[in-house]
Amino acid sequence: MKKKIVFLMVGIIAIFIILLVANSINNKDNVAENISQTTKGINVSEDESKSKAVDEIIYSPLVDKYTVKSEYDNDDVYLVNDEGQKLAGPYAYIYIDDVTYKDDLCRIISKDSHKIGFINMTGEMVAEPEYIEADKMTNGCAAVRDNVDGMYYYINSKGIRINSEEYMEAYPFVNNMAKVKFKDGTWGIINKSGSKVIDGLDYINNLPSTTTMVSGLKDGKAIILKLDKYDSKFYEIRSFDYTDISEVYYENFVIVKNENQEYGVLDVNSGKSLIDNKYKKIEFTVMPDEHIMGEKISFRCQNVDGTYDIEVKSFGNEVEDYIWDR
């Protein structure tokens, strides 16, 4: 009986040893296979790293907690998200700096036609690349041109023209209005529906972003226009016998030039001259005064002989340093 037990135990041990050896051999084979696969993986990774070495992130703005960026890949440009997923492309270029908020549109340049189109931040093509010139979209509109000899027109954030009009010159929208030059050579302002706010001007200065006044020229005279908040149209409130006029500064004053190329300063509210037209150039800077509401302005006025006169005026609204010499 004891012999049978011994033989049984020896048999069990022998079987155990055989299984252990077999498992060890199998593990060696698996390890060898894993090493081989890992080596292959390293080779692929090295190749990929060489490919990725040419990638270059050119911009990565923060957009309402949603980050987007454009990325070069062998001369192709893609719109990618934080996870590195390509949302749109390839393009020749992406104007990613157009984007401030996640609903903004971004201009792209097509690789094939080298024309400009617009995409949104999910990569969707909103306006096909068919423009040879296109401004950044502001207030939901952009001025575009589709051929060299053509005129400008506006499209909205859906890629649709806002009207059938075309313009010799078209500027970005500011406070839902834009400065334009019409086909007849006159200047004016339009709103986002394409309707004229004012027209028939010889020239108009850039639209202000913080005031309700704008200046320009009409029938050879300098004029001041004021926005009526009720009907959203500009109306002429003052006219002066000057050949040129600066923009309105803080609804207080303008710098004007006469036919003799002499500069002066006007109060836009009273229409009175603050500084006579006798200077070659006028600059102004702010002088804080704790005894008045607003600021004192120091005007540095250059005489014809190169010397300077300093004239100080007080205004109720805040202003900042500026130099105007056109």
- Is residue 321 in a domain? no
pLDDT below 70 — which residues of the chain?
1-74, 287-295, 316-326
Number of structural domains in the chain: 1
Amino acid at position 269, single letter: N
Q: What is the pLDDT of residue 56?
A: 37
Answer whether residue 75 is part of any domain: yes
Q: What is the pLDDT of residue 149?
A: 83
Asked if the structure places residue 26 within a domain, the reply is no
> What is the full DSSP assignment across 243-302?
SEE---BTTTEEEEE-TTS-EEEEETTT--EEEEEEESEEEEEEE--TTSSSEEEEEEEE
Sign of CA dihedral 261, 279, 221, 255: positive
Residues spanned by the domain of 98:
53-131
Specify if 47 maps to a domain.
no
Contact 261, 273 (CB under 8 A): no
Does some domain include residue 90? yes
Identify whether 326 is part of a domain. Answer: no
pLDDT of residue 289: 57
Question: Given 3-state DSSP classes, what are the helix, strand and coil percentages for the chain, each rounded to the nearest 5?
Answer: 15, 45, 40
The answer, as to whether pTM is greater than 0.85, is no
Q: 98, 104 in Cβ contact below 8 A?
A: yes
- The answer to whether position 109 is within a domain reads yes
d(CA 295, CA 226): 23
Q: What is the pLDDT of residue 316?
A: 58
pLDDT for res 13: 52
Task: Please write down the HEC assignment for all residues of 182-201.
Answer: CCCCCEEEEECCCCEEEEEE
The three-class DSSP label of residue 18 is: helix
Q: Is 101 among the domain residues? A: yes
